[in-house]
Chain A
Amino acid sequence: MIEFRSVTKEFPDGTVAVRDFSLVIPSRRITVLVGSSGSGKTTILRMINRMVDPTSGVIEIDGNDVSTLEPVKLRRSIGYVMQNSGLLPHRKVADNIATVPLLRGVKRKDARVRALELMDAVGLDRSLADRYPSQLSGGQQQRVGVARGLAVDPNILLLDEPFGAVDPLVRAELQQELLRLQHDLDKTVVFVTHDIDEAFLLGHQVVIFKKGGLVAQVGTPQEILADPADEFVAKFIGADRGKRALRVRSEAGRDVLVDSEGRAAGVLVTDDDEAGAVAAASGASAQGDQPR
């Protein structure tokens, strides 16, 4: 569990990126921080691994105040993935993945074996192990980034808009991979994005930000959709338009759901097959991401 208690971050130039922020990030769940650019998401994420130190307030990981932990050691115990992969351009894929284990003194051979296993885990062909990052596509680079983040077998994985720069099809694929990985590996994931669809797809808990690091609403996607806290949230999640504003229309004696443009989105089913309905809904929203 990661806990923020009244955390404020003011940068030396006077910018207050985060103001009196409190949040509990549950273990073994995906928490998504979503908000427009400049709302303080990256700053919050970087305070967890002490890349940024708060001006005031406390951040605890499993009850330990991070300000008492040594930054290098802390960072090596937390996976970190960023938008532009941040891979070392002069190192091969396998060496990039093995960077931290090698720094920790793992033998080269063992580190490579582990790196190849991680490539399997994130869906990268082993033949890419001796390529350089510049020889990979954007999506492949992000997979390497995720593999590197997992290389130290961290309990916590921080991802800062990791799929922001890849094309929509690949993004949808990477999102599914991340869900599968989190399901298999049981990591505590903190995921930053500005894409509300991505947030609702991935997040068990979603935190919506306004400018200046102010929290607009915290909840599960269902809770937020069912009861947007205010006008801002309603607008941000698009509850009033597009594929989220569904209405019932009777068609050949059956209730069909249509979106605000009148396109068919699905059918209403009874409570008995609720499980099926949930699956159908999540499938629809995954497809809905693609044309963006």
Chain B
Amino acid sequence: MNGWSDAFNWLLDPTNWSGPGGIPARTEEHLVYTLVTLVVACIIALPIGLAVGHTGKGRGVAVQFSGALRALPTLGVLLLLATWLGLGFGPPLVAMVLLALPPLIAGAYAGVEAVDRQTIDAARSIGMTGWQVLFKVELPLALPIIIGGVRSACLQVIATWTVAAYLPLGGLGRYIYDGYAVQNYAEMLGGSIVVIILALVADGVFAIVQRLVVPRGVVLGRASDVRVRQSRSLVGTSGSTTAG
């Protein structure tokens, strides 16, 4: 079977790299959809997750709510919303946001919950207000886990926007549905490969971000468990690469 070589030929064909249906344009569409979804979902999910983690209240409700959302079949919701609300970007956006909420909420409250209770207690004892504890202590220390939530939400959203192209919409999913319509398997496989690469790149970027947001004092703490000298030289070299 020469499906793979056909797919690579399709990928390498210059005509597929230009115009409104070209790979750059479709990739951009896909990225914009994903970004908009993540931004909207973060605006909803992070305050809820941080509030649950900070107050310790509503954890049960949040877990149940996330579980219920996770159990929803995304494709079904997608079609249901499209039938209810009509075509366009709005209905699938709602479905994608619902899909992204559970990992974002979980990341936020798990991140805050993981912060050492003694550190928080100390921050309150010296006179930080609740908001100061949240923004100056809990948030910076929880950030790696919060970004972890964004990372897994992002992967799901990238994958599912491919399916939503069926509605019809732009994005990389177009190649799969358009290719299928004309039995062009090279285009379908080529499109899938681009989606996979996009997902891997996004995952890699978040993996890097996740490491960068680990507060330096915490990174050094781990290093100095092994060898203090080494961690000292880290202070000099890593300079201002990471946020304090």
Contacts and interface: CB of A to CB of B under 8 A. Distances in A.
Interface of A: 46, 49, 51, 72-77, 80, 82, 84-92, 99-100, 103, 130-135, 148-149
A90 B121 contact: no
Residues of B in contact with A, size category: 20 to 34
A187 to B, nearest CB: 16
Nearest to B217: A132
Contacts of A134: 217-218, 220-222, 224
A178 to B, nearest CB: 18
A77 B123 CA distance: 14
B123 A100 contact: no
Contacts of B237: none
Contacts of B216: 90, 132
B125 A82 contact: yes
Contacts of B118: 82, 84, 86
B127 A90 contact: no
B128 to A, nearest CB: 7
A90 B141 contact: yes
B205 interface: no
15 contacts: A72-B127, A75-B125, A75-B126, A75-B127, A76-B126, A86-B118, A89-B116, A89-B215, A90-B244, A91-B244, A99-B128, A131-B235, A134-B221, A134-B222, A149-B126
Interface of B: 116, 118-119, 121-129, 132, 136-137, 140-141, 215-218, 220-222, 224, 228, 231-232, 235, 244
B239 to A, nearest CB: 12
Nearest to A79: B126
Given A75-B126, A80-B125, A82-B125, A103 B141 contact: no
Contacts of A149: 126
Given A90-B244, A91-B244, A100-B127, A82 B221 contact: no
A46 B121 CA distance: 11
Contacts of B218: 89-90, 134
B215 A135 contact: no
A90 B215 contact: yes
Contacts of B232: 135
B119 A86 contact: yes
Contacts of A148: 126
B217 A100 contact: no
Contacts of A131: 235
Contacts of B222: 134
B117 to A, nearest CB: 10
B217 A91 contact: yes
A73 B121 contact: no
Contacts of A92: 217, 244
B111 to A, nearest CB: 13
Given A86-B121, A135-B231, A103 B127 contact: yes
| Residue of B125, B126, B129, B220 with most chain A CB atoms under a 10 A cut-off | B126
Nearest to B136: A88
A198 B105 CA distance: 48
A132 B123 contact: no
A131 B224 CA distance: 12
A100 B126 contact: yes
Contact of B127 (A76, A84, A89): A76
